[in-house]
Amino acid sequence: GEDGLVCIWDIRTAVCQRKLKLPSAVNSVTLHPDQTVLFVGQENTSCSYWDLRQNKEVVIHKNMTKEGSIQSVSVNNIASQLCAIDNKGLLRLWDIKDMSQPKCVTSEQCHLTRGLKCTFSPDCETIATTSSDTTARLWNITEDGIVLDKTFSTPDQKWVWDAVFSTDSQFLFTASSDGTVRLWDSQVAGTPKQEYAAHQKAVVSIAFWDREAANFYSKENSTESES
């Protein structure tokens, strides 16, 4: 929150279990796949992580840009890379396979105006970024960094606040200030496959739940428990 606190809540009792106090406002958090580390993007452009086992903050990068703020952080599904985008449209990508020594892979000017969201595709091959420039962009991850693949926009689209991939990485959902959620084919540049325009005001956050994938993993976990 703006008070610089990161809180962990027990959703069953609505009780805050742990708190971490940081030096500036917190704009974004994301959990490491092994659930022992919480990555944090701060208003003072610092990117850090909270080691939940040792209960301490470790700074990955301090003051990413002058007079900027980190807007979004994301870690990929195999916990090998972390990315963060700031309000200047700058995206930084780290190799975090060795958490004791995160390595900056690249720093890329993904947008010329405010960056709003960055997120990895489930297959860990692509990063989606969104911006106040009314676009969402897909970036292919290479050994040396990232390369622009596609830009998604429409004449009516305004600020794009959020983006989320489908489980198979085939599709991308975006949320915009024009009150519309759009569905894009991540493999094909062009117009959206579907538009969901039921809101009168801005849509600033979305989440996607894949029922078939959830049922599959539920059955798989149940089988493992029985065995």
Read off the amino acid at residue 157: Q
Round to whole Å and give the CA distance between 18 and 25.
17
**Rg for the chain (alpha carbons), in Å?**
18
pLDDT digits (tens, 9 = 90+) for 107-158: 999 999 999 999 999 999 999 999 999 999 999 999 989 999 999 999 989 9
For tokens 């801005």, the residue is 202
What was the pLDDT predicted at 37?
Answer: 93
What was the pLDDT predicted at 66?
Answer: 63
Q: Is the pLDDT of residue 214 over 70?
A: no
Supply 98's token pair. Answer: 């060795």
Lowest mean pLDDT among 64-68, 117-121, 154-158, 175-179: 64-68
Got the DSSP string for 55-85? Answer: TEEEEEES-SSTT--EEEEEE-TTSSEEEEE
pLDDT band, very low/low/confident/very high, at 217 (cuts 50, 70, 90): very low
What average pLDDT does the structure give for the chain? 90
pLDDT digits (tens, 9 = 90+) for 30-42: 999 999 999 999 9
Cα 192-198-203 angle, rounded to 5 deg: 75
49-65 burial by CB neighbour count: b if 16+ within 10 A, else e? bbbbeeeebeebbeebe
Supply 4's token pair. Answer: 């610089």
| Whole-Å CA distances, 99 to 60, 96, 124, 146, 221 | 9, 5, 18, 21, 28
Q: pTM surpassing 0.75? A: yes
DSSP letter at 191 equals S
Round to whole Å and give the CA distance between 39 and 31.
6
What was the pLDDT predicted at 112?
Answer: 95
Q: How many CA atoms lie within 13 A of 154 on its CB side?
A: 18
Phi-psi region of 156 (alpha: psi -120 to 50; beta: other; left: phi over 0): alpha
| Whole-Å CA distances, 47 to 146, 190, 199, 215, 218 | 19, 34, 34, 35, 34
Average pLDDT of span 88-97: 95
24-33 burial by CB neighbour count: b if 16+ within 10 A, else e? eebbbbbebe
Q: Is the pLDDT of residue 221 over 60?
A: no
pLDDT band, very low/low/confident/very high, at 61 (cuts 50, 70, 90): confident
pLDDT digits (tens, 9 = 90+) for 202-213: 999 999 887 765
What's the distance, CA 211 to chain centroid? 21
